Structure 1
Amino acid sequence: MTEGAPSRAIIRFAIPLILGYLLQQMYLIIDAAIVGRWIGVGALAAVGASSSIMFLVMGFCNGSCAGFAIPVAQAFGAGDYRKMRCYVSNAMRIALVLAIVITLLTCFLCDKILQMVNTPADVFHDAYVFLFLQFCTIPFTIAYNLLSGQIRALGNSKQPFYFLIASSLLNILLDIVFILLLGMGVEGAGIATFLSQIFASLLCWWFIKRHMPILVPTGDERNFDNKRISILLNNGIPMGLQFSITSIGIIMLQSANNALGTVYVASFTAAVRIKYLFTCVLENIGVAMATYCGQNLGARKLQRVKTGVNDSMWIMLAYFALTVIIIYPFADEMMMLFVNGNELEVIDNAARLMRICNWFYPSLGVLVILRYSIQGLGYSNLSMMSGVMEMIARCGVSIWLVPSLAWTGVCYADPVAWVMADLFLIPAYLWLMRRLKRQLG
């Protein structure tokens, strides 16, 4: 990603990422549609009641793994392959510890977590079963994100996409078998996710061993290295905490929304599934920028970093125009994927949230592009502060707007959070570019 037109390099790298996450979101939509239409609105609410908790936990895991890939990308861009493999081996050590600790803690506290977010009593049991099975999946989610992040750090975003296709298709197939044929309910959805994540992580491991030996540590490259561990933690933990801090606000918002009742929980679940389908494109333009900026910083091409950020903004705005054409007229029809047409209140609530958030997608685009660019440049602590701004905004909405405006307050939570984060990220990015220009001469 250090040669050629920046816009083409970014698009070429981002497309497999976007397609992969679109496929993943399509799986989540199909999963929710199967649960909502064939089991019922209560089951849909049970699956969605803990979505903010999963964002907190999985966000920390995925963000940390993405951060661990940044030193790998920088070393690759600088052509120091031995150093790169030292990072790979030490990242695996950290990931193993995280997987064990987080899985044990979350499984043990599952019941208390659902009580904390005001899960409605009528869906509590199903929500517990689903969440517990999701927590059991954590080690394999970490393995997939760590290995796929290392593959992408070398500029290969296609293979993780192919593995997502395979695991998502397996997940859908298992959903059909466990839920529709065997009648296992939300338990079937949880088991399907568990098995498909194992499959995805094994595919990544096989590919690296077979086709990317440059990533496989040998000899003393496998040794524990305190300096490398420190650098990896300084990149990974702030990125993980950024998602976790953001999630605190999301948890408070979901808790406030859960208190409104099962209909609103189902509405939130349906809207969020479709919203993520659209916003994952923006998110992955940002993910592409982390690798792009990391490699170009390693190659000492700061002007190319700046050009890439500007080009990604134009790409984002073009995508925003496309989403308006799709979301505004068809939001109601999208919600009917999850519930029967007679569930008018759920459909109306969910469609309203989708339309309101859609107008603020440029704010989200600026947020993810600048956040991931700053991370790719090695300043994860700085980008973490944008997560603090999002948390403060969502907490404020949960405390003041939701009690007074009910569902309307929920609809404006994300837009307020995105704008608040931008107010920090824009000056932070400008300051950082001036700083790096002085350092690189």
Structure 2
Amino acid sequence: MSKQTNMTTGNPTKLLLSFAIPLMFGTILQQSFIIVDRIIVGHLIGANAFASVGATGSVSMVFTSLCLGIAIGSGIVLSQFFGANDEAGTALAIRNGTMISTVSTLIISAFALLITRPLLILLNTPVSLLEDAVNYMSVSLGGLIFVIIYYIPFSILRSLGDAKTPIIFLATCSILNIVFDLVFILIFHTGVEGTAIASLLAQGIAGILCFAYAIKKYSYFQKAIKEAKFDRSIARQILKICIPMGFQYSLIYLSSSILQWVINGFGTSVIGAFAATSQIENLIQQPFTALGTAIATYTGQNIGAGKTERIKQGLISALKICASYSLILLLVFWVFGKLAMNMFVSDTVIIENAVTGIHITSTFFMALGMSQILRYLLNGTGDSAYSMANGILEIACRLVFVFALTNISFIGQWGYGGQLLSHGFVLHYFLFGDIKAASGNRKNINDLYIFIRKFDILKNNTLSFMEGNIMSKVIMMCGVCGSGKTTYAKQKEQEGYIRLSIDEEMWNIYGQKGIDYSETQYDELSEKVELLLRQKMISLIKNGKNVVIDFSFWNKDNREFYRNMIENAGGIVELVYMKANKELLRKRLQKRNLSLHANSPFIITDEILEHHYKGFQEPQGEGEIVILQK
């Protein structure tokens, strides 16, 4: 039985939980073994070694998260093709996303190795920790390719809705990591470098095993290997999303690296406490990440399927889950904080500092979780640019708050908790900041859509009217080939409408049928182009643009599908039916067949016309505007 989850039907809460819980347990399992890894370092090598590894955490993640963000961005595109039931597009997204992620990682890894030592010195790493920190970080960043080999198949499987299979390989990786840690430290006496090598080996082995499993079980992977090729249009679409996502992820850790510079100035004990609290925070934040990944996949699949009305339901469910989990965490860490910190080291000063730190940070977990969910949802819509801009705002706030508070004498080292104020600030901006600008400070807005108004695909018609937005008008052209649809659509284009044409896009991207690509490829390529145009249409609607869709819309089901998609995105539909008799169509097509171009890419024979004419379902009672051709 397939483990893929189709998130375009069914109860949103159940779907999100069924996807997020396995993913959450998998990542918690992974983080638990990472914590065990740190405990091994702290107790078998020493407190200085523990602090050395902790001092590299944020700066290493600047580069690692850039690679992971690119892989996750590729998964968003993949989930949209999967949601649209486009097997060829899904396979292309797998192949192209893997190629982009791999090449990007090799470049990032090489650059990171060049600047490791200067960067750690710049961050004010204490001399007593520097050599161990350099050695650990050099091995970790030099082996980033093993990390991405490990992460790519996990990201792809999650985008397909399979959150359960990766858990098996996460567990495999985690167990191997601990075994290799003990071997390198106790037998080979390699110090902190050994723990880095152990992690890379474990991830590489688990990644290869996961790839092998996916290729065997999923036809998408098989098709990606055997048939899919590099595709410029897919690559552009992936890069458009994954570059902002990669920078979004890395910028968060870049700000953490700057904060690490502040922490390093307070000495080894504070560095150790910060490392301990960071490990705990990484562990407990995994459910937020799992829920965010679930909402991104859920959103991507539903956009691909044209079911944007389901996204609001999913968002409400995700926010409720987040709030409940945050309150539980707050209680746990205020009651059992000291017990948790005792796991890492026996140094009482480090433990005391760490306990106070976890009390401060747990207060802001709810704001952190909610802002992450909203950001992931934006990524799922493909609007990663705004999500990145929001991330930059958060980073700026973190730095301002921390630098300001740590320089107040009676606050001192505890000012690093000021970074968490940024989550509350950003959440406020998400929920209310843009409302005031759009609504003239109007109060008592109860519709949850207003919380996320930046991506208008979630707004209904009433909200658009209330905010004074100009609603997009979308003209759907309908008729048999030769009926004059393109002529009419071009007239509307002169009036300011944006015209979308499958024939033109096919011509521009793939060339002429029968010459640049085989006739047997036409259906597969045209489906892929239609999906791209569908996504472009939604983007235009949410930006208030008028659109004319220069398609044929032969059957009623297809017209209804697009009508629902347009209306759910906040647009107004006008169906224009170009009605013509068969003889008139034949005469027009005979003339059109003399010159092939973007809007007439191949010859329409009498047999093809007869097939189209018989298969055409004339609109009746659909609010159509009929333009009789003579």
Superposition map of 1:209-288 within 5 A: 209-217=215-223, 221-288=227-294
Equivalent of residue 352 in structure 1, options 350, 356, 370: 356
User: AA paired with 1:423?
Assistant: H
Distance 1:424 1:220, change over 3 A: farther
Equivalent position SS for 2:162? coil
Structure 1 partner of 2:116 = 110
Q: Can you list the C-alpha shifts for 1:290-324, whole angstroms capped at 9, x where unaligned?
A: 10110111111122110000001111111112212
Q: Can you list the C-alpha shifts for 1:112-161, whole angstroms capped at 9, x where unaligned?
A: 12112111100111111110111022112122222211111111011111
Question: What's the CA shift for 1:184?
Answer: 2.2
The 8 Å contact of residues 393 and 417 in structure 1, kept in 2 or not, is answered as yes
Task: Give the Cα–Cα distance (whole angstroms) in 2 for the partners of residues 214 and 397 of structure 1.
Answer: 47
Task: Give the Cα–Cα distance (whole angstroms) in 2 for the partners of residues 332 and 186 of structure 1.
Answer: 26
Question: What's the CA shift for 1:224?
Answer: 2.2
The 8 Å contact of residues 68 and 146 in structure 1, kept in 2 or not, is answered as no
Distance 1:239 1:424, change over 3 A: farther
Task: Give the Cα–Cα distance (whole angstroms) in 1 for the partners of residues 225 and 286 of structure 2.
Answer: 39
Equivalent position SS for 1:438? coil
Structure 2 partner of 1:366 = 370
Structure 2 partner of 1:160 = 166
Distance 1:279 1:218, change over 3 A: closer
The 8 Å contact of residues 263 and 346 in structure 1, kept in 2 or not, is answered as yes
Q: Can you list the C-alpha shifts for 1:215-234, whole angstroms capped at 9, x where unaligned?
A: 33358953222111110001
Superposition map of 1:90-109 within 5 A: 90-109=96-115
Q: Can you list the C-alpha shifts for 1:351-399, whole angstroms capped at 9, x where unaligned?
A: 1111111111110111111011110011111111121012101221343
User: AA paired with 2:252?
Assistant: T
Question: What's the CA shift for 1:105?
Answer: 0.8
Indicate yes or no: 2:569 matched with 1:437: yes
User: AA paired with 2:303?
Assistant: L
Structure 1 partner of 2:415 = 409
Indicate yes or no: 2:444 matched with 1:421: no
User: AA paired with 1:178?
Assistant: F
Superposition map of 1:28-177 within 5 A: 28-177=34-183
Task: Give the Cα–Cα distance (whole angstroms) in 2 for the partners of residues 22 and 258 of structure 1.
Answer: 28
Structure 1 partner of 2:379 = 375
Indicate yes or no: 2:388 matched with 1:384: yes
Structure 1 partner of 2:300 = 294
Question: What's the CA shift for 1:85?
Answer: 1.1
Computing the radius of gyration over CA atoms, which structure comes out larger, 1 or 2? 2
Task: Give the Cα–Cα distance (whole angstroms) in 1 for the partners of residues 174 and 572 of structure 2.
Answer: 44
Structure 2: give runs of 5+ residues left out of the alignment: 1-6, 435-450, 460-541, 543-567, 574-630
Equivalent of residue 16 in structure 2, options 7, 10, 16: 10
User: AA paired with 2:384?
Assistant: S
Superposition map of 1:315-326 within 5 A: 315-326=321-332
Structure 1 partner of 2:309 = 303
Question: What's the CA shift for 1:102?
Answer: 0.9
- Greater CA drift, 396-405 or 163-172: 396-405
User: AA paired with 2:329?
Assistant: T
Task: Give the Cα–Cα distance (whole angstroms) in 1 for the partners of residues 224 and 270 of structure 2.
Answer: 54
Task: Give the Cα–Cα distance (whole angstroms) in 2 for the partners of residues 62 and 348 of structure 1.
Answer: 34
The 8 Å contact of residues 42 and 50 in structure 2, kept in 1 or not, is answered as yes
User: AA paired with 1:429?
Assistant: I
Task: Give the Cα–Cα distance (whole angstroms) in 1 for the partners of residues 223 and 267 of structure 2.
Answer: 52
Task: Give the Cα–Cα distance (whole angstroms) in 1 for the partners of residues 206 and 87 of structure 2.
Answer: 26
The 8 Å contact of residues 90 and 225 in structure 1, kept in 2 or not, is answered as yes
Distance 1:297 1:218, change over 3 A: closer
Structure 1 partner of 2:319 = 313
TM-score by length of 2: 0.67
Question: What's the CA shift for 1:266?
Answer: 0.6
Structure 1 partner of 2:345 = 339
User: AA paired with 1:58?
Assistant: T
Task: Give the Cα–Cα distance (whole angstroms) in 1 for the partners of residues 452 and 237 of structure 2.
Answer: 21
Equivalent position SS for 1:155? coil
User: AA paired with 1:384?
Assistant: M
Q: Identity over aligned residues, as a percent?
A: 31
User: AA paired with 1:377?
Assistant: T
Equivalent position SS for 1:431? coil
The 8 Å contact of residues 95 and 143 in structure 1, kept in 2 or not, is answered as no
Task: Give the Cα–Cα distance (whole angstroms) in 2 for the partners of residues 338 and 370 of structure 1.
Answer: 33
Structure 1: give runs of 5+ residues left out of the alignment: none
Greater than 4 Å deviation, 4+ residue runs: 218-221
The 8 Å contact of residues 46 and 127 in structure 1, kept in 2 or not, is answered as yes
RMSD between aligned residues: 1.7
Task: Give the Cα–Cα distance (whole angstroms) in 2 for the partners of residues 190 and 209 of structure 1.
Answer: 29
User: AA paired with 1:295?
Assistant: Q
Task: Give the Cα–Cα distance (whole angstroms) in 1 for the partners of residues 279 and 251 of structure 2.
Answer: 21
The 8 Å contact of residues 253 and 397 in structure 1, kept in 2 or not, is answered as no
Task: Give the Cα–Cα distance (whole angstroms) in 2 for the partners of residues 20 and 266 of structure 1.
Answer: 27
**Number of corresponding residues:** 438
The 8 Å contact of residues 216 and 222 in structure 2, kept in 1 or not, is answered as no
Structure 1 partner of 2:550 = none
Task: Give the Cα–Cα distance (whole angstroms) in 1 for the partners of residues 370 and 115 of structure 2.
Answer: 36
